[in-house]
Amino acid sequence: MATAAIIARQADEAKRQHQQGAASGGGEGLRQYYQQTIQDLQLLSRQKHHDLQRLEAQRNDLNGRVRSLKEELQLLQEPGSYVGEVVKVMGKSKVLVKVHPEGKYVVDIDKSIDITKITPSTRVALRNDSYVLHLVLPSKVDPLVNLMKVEKVPDSTYDMIGGLDQQIKEIKEVIELPIKHPELFESLGIAQPKGVLLYGPPGTGKTLLARAVAHHTDCTFIRVSGSELVQKYIGEGSRMVRELFVMAREHAPSIIFMDEIDSIGSARMESGSGNGDSEVQRTMLELLNQLDGFEASNKIKVCLTPC
């Protein structure tokens, strides 16, 4: 009897342990299920948050475009302006402006305009109803001329040039000294040189010498080939020369390096010859006018080299 009772008790204990193990296994599976569900929901929440940030960025971009379009629409709806050129500044609130083809007018200046920024030959905008100067415009320069300006100052130095000690000394006196110390020429009462003509066979250091001058003077370096000034249509070459010097004045002090100058520097022909040299002569005459005309500037130096 005792043995049977012990066996029955052991069987009940084993059954109870089995039931507890089954219950324990079911709880572990339920826990894993909820943990996986929580991880999936967290991943979904992160994705939704990322989508929300992307949509907010798109909304901000669209809002910026809408504001830009509204500003552009507002500008288009505003009345137009007359474009004129300042002839003379007359006091603190009035200027003499030339408006083509109407003539010259003495106009008032808007209070928002800085009078110190207005100089002769400045392009300005006038209101069409009151002729009040309300905007200072940038100079009208051909995009092809803008490309001639070298953005990075050349890193060439005089030490890189060998065998041209006398030429280096002369170009320092003609180009570098007037730019760095113009008061010396003013005290002596002599005019500054306009530029130099570098001549010699190809490969003798003419271009390198011009680059070294631009490096040591810390000037705006504008490089142009004479063949680029030979244009198909009448007046285009001389117009490019004018705009070239306009850009040089805006970024003064400047050095204009003209290579292949012999392409426009031919001997002057008789008028009415009927060939294409007349346009080349116009270009050369405009260059001479800019170098030694009424609006000549001491802050612009020219280096000319033949091909």
Digit-coded pLDDT (tens) for 208-230: 888 888 788 877 788 887 777 77
pLDDT at 7: 46
> 112 and 46 in one domain?
no
For residue 12, what pLDDT band results from cuts at 50, 70 and 90? low
Please answer whether residues 196 and 125 qualify as being in contact, where contact means their C-beta atoms are separated by less than 8 angstroms: no
pLDDT at 230: 76
CA distance 121 to 111: 21
pLDDT at 3: 46
**Does the structure show a pLDDT above 60 at 26?**
no
Please answer whether residues 195 and 292 qualify as being in contact, where contact means their C-beta atoms are separated by less than 8 angstroms: no
The two tokens of residue 190 are: 């002599």
pLDDT at 256: 85
**Does the structure show a pLDDT above 60 at 271?**
no
Flag whether 1 is in a domain. no
> 178 and 126 in one domain?
no
> 70 and 170 in one domain?
no
Q: What is the CATH number for 130?
A: 2.40.50.140
Tally of residues, the chain:
307
Please answer whether residues 86 and 96 qualify as being in contact, where contact means their C-beta atoms are separated by less than 8 angstroms: yes
Phi, psi of 88 (to 5 degrees): -155, 140
> 166 and 300 in one domain?
yes
Q: Comparing C-alpha atoms, which of 302, 295, 304, 305 is closest to residue 175? A: 302
Per-residue pLDDT, averaged over 40-65, amounts to 92
The two tokens of residue 237 are: 């070459």
Domain of 40 in residue numbering reads as: 27-78
The two tokens of residue 104 are: 């010259």
Flag whether 12 is in a domain. no
> 152 and 168 in one domain?
yes
Per-residue pLDDT, averaged over 113-127, amounts to 83
> 208 and 72 in one domain?
no
pTM exceeding 0.75: no
> 150 and 200 in one domain?
yes
Distance, CA of 148 to chain centre? 12
Domain boundary pick from 110, 136, 162: 136
Please answer whether residues 231 and 279 qualify as being in contact, where contact means their C-beta atoms are separated by less than 8 angstroms: yes
Q: What is the CATH number for 264?
A: 3.40.50.300
pLDDT at 46: 92
> 282 and 217 in one domain?
yes
pLDDT at 9: 58
Flag whether 228 is in a domain. yes
For residue 146, what pLDDT band results from cuts at 50, 70 and 90? low
Q: Rounded mean pLDDT of the chain?
A: 78
Share of the chain above pLDDT 90, in %: 9
pLDDT at 58: 94
CA distance 110 to 107: 10
Per-residue pLDDT, averaged over 97-103, amounts to 81
> 241 and 169 in one domain?
yes
103 forms beta bridges with 99
CA distance 220 to 210: 12
**Does the structure show a pLDDT above 90 at 265?**
no
Which residues, other chains included, contact 123 with Cβ-Cβ below 8 Å and sequence gap of 6+?
83, 84, 85, 86, 136, 137, 138, 139, 140
> 255 and 298 in one domain?
yes
Which residues, other chains included, contact 231 with Cβ-Cβ below 8 Å and sequence gap of 6+?
237, 240, 279
Distance, CA of 7 to chain centre? 100
pLDDT at 2: 47
Tally of domains within the chain: 3
> 281 and 196 in one domain?
yes
The two tokens of residue 181 are: 């110390």
> 99 and 70 in one domain?
no
pLDDT tens, residue by residue, 229-242: 777 677 777 888 88
Please name the residue ranges forming H helices in 78-152: 143-146
pLDDT tens, residue by residue, 60-75: 999 999 999 999 998 7
Flag whether 5 is in a domain. no
The two tokens of residue 187 are: 């005290």
Please answer whether residues 284 and 264 qualify as being in contact, where contact means their C-beta atoms are separated by less than 8 angstroms: yes
CA distance 149 to 244: 9
